[in-house]
Amino acid sequence: MSRESSARATPGHALKAPRVVSVPSARCMAPMNRDPLDLTAADPQSKPMTTHINKAPAYWSRAAIRPGIVAIGPMLPGTLAFGMAFGALCAQKNFSLAEVQLMMVFVYGGLSQFVAVQSWPDLLTPGSIATLALLTMTVNIRFALMTATLRPWFGSLPSWQAYPAMLFVTDGGWLAAMRYREHGGANAMFYLAGALVLYLLWAVAAIPGYLLAEQLTDPKKYGVDLVMPAFYAAMLVPAWKGPRRAIPWLVSGGVALAVHYLVPGWWFIIAGALSGAISAAFIDEPAPAGTTAA
């Protein structure tokens, strides 16, 4: 109401008070300033965040060191047992402890190290070396896919920071980092802190297994042969996103088992990976919540 209309109003007619509409300020409309590291602070009634939300670019902060280490804590016992089993295997294959440590520090391949040592020939020839290279590349090709999924997060960092960090990608570390990212986390130190702890543990894990190789000649006696299957099976639990997303798992596992029994060698790894990837390609991605399909 203008000043002129207010001046012309008669005393017997009370002016209606202007209707006040409360408009939230930009500060109020912004998301609550809560550290995504504290996943327990979220409202238990709120819906979990999905991969469709906009995520902040990567940055470095020491605040994520402790949460990153805590996140990979449950994986440390399995990593230690995994490394001990590898050390015992190397001792049975007559590797020296120095050679084992060089492999642990510089190769850092996990399962591919098992495959390479189990397939290690008595005499190294160009053909046998090429075979070992093909086997390790086949097993480790999954890391190319894992690092590709980290690019939307680490791509905003300088190359000299992002690419060296990818050298420490492991199955468990990647899984913990992606879960943190899906909850809106952006601190790259979360990933790197956990990855470095896994690397340091792996670097020394083979030593006790190597020294106790005589006691570990029969892995089944102590259940060491179940370390790898149990480790990778446990990784599927936090990756569960419903029965529909588990179809490629079933396809990959079924094909890998069939090829393992029908074809000698390590071809079941390639067959399982390809069949799982192909079957996943035929599964449509569900539309984000609140949108309708075109």
Q: Which of 92-101, 161-170, 277-286 has the lowest mean pLDDT?
A: 277-286
pLDDT for 216 beyond 60: yes
3-state secondary structure of 290: coil
Residues 70 and 194 in one domain: yes
Number of domain units in the chain: 2
- Using N-to-C axis directions, what is the helix angle for 247-262 and 267-281, rounded to 10°? 150
Domain presence at residue 146? yes
3-state helix, strand, coil in the chain (%, to 5): 65, 0, 35
Domain boundary among 204, 224, 239: 239
The per-residue pLDDT for 54 is 66
Domain presence at residue 201? yes
* pTM listed for this prediction: 0.68
Domain presence at residue 250? yes
- 32 vs 185: which has the higher pLDDT: 185
Residues 90 and 150 in one domain: yes
Residues 235 and 250 in one domain: no
Q: Give Dmax over CA atoms of the chain in angstroms.
A: 111
Residues 149 and 167 in one domain: yes
Residues 267 and 210 in one domain: no
Domain presence at residue 36? no
Rounded CA-CA distance 194/198 in Å is: 6
User: Rounded mean pLDDT of 41-49?
Assistant: 40
Residues 67 and 135 in one domain: yes
Domain enclosing residue 95, as ranges: 62-239
